[in-house]
Amino acid sequence: MKGIHILATGHFAPDKIVTNDDLSKIVDTTDEWITSRTGMKKRHFCEAGDNNVTLATEAAKMALDKADIDINEIGALVVSTFSGDYLVPSAACQVQQELGLSDDIICFDLNAACSGFVFGIETMRGLLMQSEKRYGLLIGSECISRRLDMTDRGSCILFGDGAGAALIELDENRSYTSVYGCHGDLAVINCPNDANKPGRVHMEGQATYKFAVSTVPKLIKKVVEKAGIELEAIDAYVCHQANARIVDAVAKHLKQPKEKFFMNLDEYANTSAASVAIALSDAIDKGFCKPGQKVLLAGFGAGKTWGAIIVDL
């Protein structure tokens, strides 16, 4: 199956840092509770002047700066997000303008919640197969802080803002395997879009936790089996950064060393569609993921949705 080459990545988060202690002044919680239950230490929140498009644009610029390409050869721009600044136009159209990309480009937003970046890779690969141009720009960007119920300690402590970007081209010499799924469920995680009042994220924590730890190991086994390889052939796992306990449980279930699983949720918390994008970019910058490696990306979240892909870096 024709693979993809991730030429360059970038990630960006707003300057404002919100620590667990900061949150303990807003809701009845403690640093000890948040750290022990989630592994999260801080998160970044947008301030005046920051928004979904500014985050997405900065992450994209960082990726483009690392790649020596003609930006007129970018034929597709997809922003995975559920927290766009406008219902229309899409964040992707605004980022196209900000980056000065050419007009003959397909631009749209994709909403698959926390599976957004993984669904985005599959979508981008399909778009590039149809495209007359060589490159695709995929961004996961979220400004979730504006969608949080800051009176609900069970959810507001979990999320942060940020964006990650990847510049992608097709590559016949790289392998590619993907598995996706969806089980429609409004109750477990939702964020209403009510014209009369701004929607806030609602999450059933325990049900979400159970969904994650039961779904993700099966998902990873399935994509590895489909690729015709063993778990041991995966050099690094970059999973959605929802909770360190979830990642640990997945590693334990798969009997894989925890050290193979990248985590940066202590710095960014859960950035939904940006989570895997930021983690991948951060993992590459830190040398955790290296060229030539086989990397498994896995996302899961509201929908409910889930997806995993194995790429050759």
Contact positions toward ligand COA, by CB under 6 A? Answer: 29, 33-34, 37-38, 114, 153-154, 157-158, 189, 203, 205-206, 208-209, 212, 242-243, 246, 270, 301
89 upstream amide cis, omega within 30 of 0: yes
CB atoms within 10 A of CB 88: 7
Toward ligand COA, which CB reaches closer, 38 or 94? 38
User: Residues 227, 230, 235, 240: is their CA dihedral positive or negative?
Assistant: positive
Which CB sits closer to ligand COA, 202 or 260?
A: 202
CB of 250 to ligand COA, least distance (A): 12
CB 221, min distance to ligand COA, A: 20
Cβ 125 to ligand COA shortest distance, Å: 23
Q: Which of 52, 93, 240, 289 is catalytic?
A: 240
Q: 265 and 271 in contact (C-beta within 8 Å)?
A: no
Shortest distance (Å) from residue 251 CB to ligand COA: 16
Catalytic residue among 46, 114, 156, 239: 114
* Residue 183 is a catalytic residue: no
Helix, strand or coil, per DSSP, at residue 158: coil
- Residue 72 among the catalytic residues: no
Q: Are residues 277 and 124 in contact, defined by beta-carbon separation less than 8 angstroms?
A: no
Calpha distance 141→258 (Å, rounded): 27
Using CA atoms, how far apart are residues 155 and 145, in angstroms rounded to an integer?
11
Q: Which residues pair with 309 in a beta bridge?
A: 178, 297
User: Does residue 5 have an active-site annotation?
Assistant: no
User: Residue 104: which residues within 8 A CB-CB, separation 6 or more?
Assistant: 75, 133
- Identify which of residues 96 and 272 has a Cβ nearer to ligand COA in the complex: 272
Nearer to ligand COA, 114 or 220 (CB): 114
Residues assigned a catalytic role: 114, 240, 270
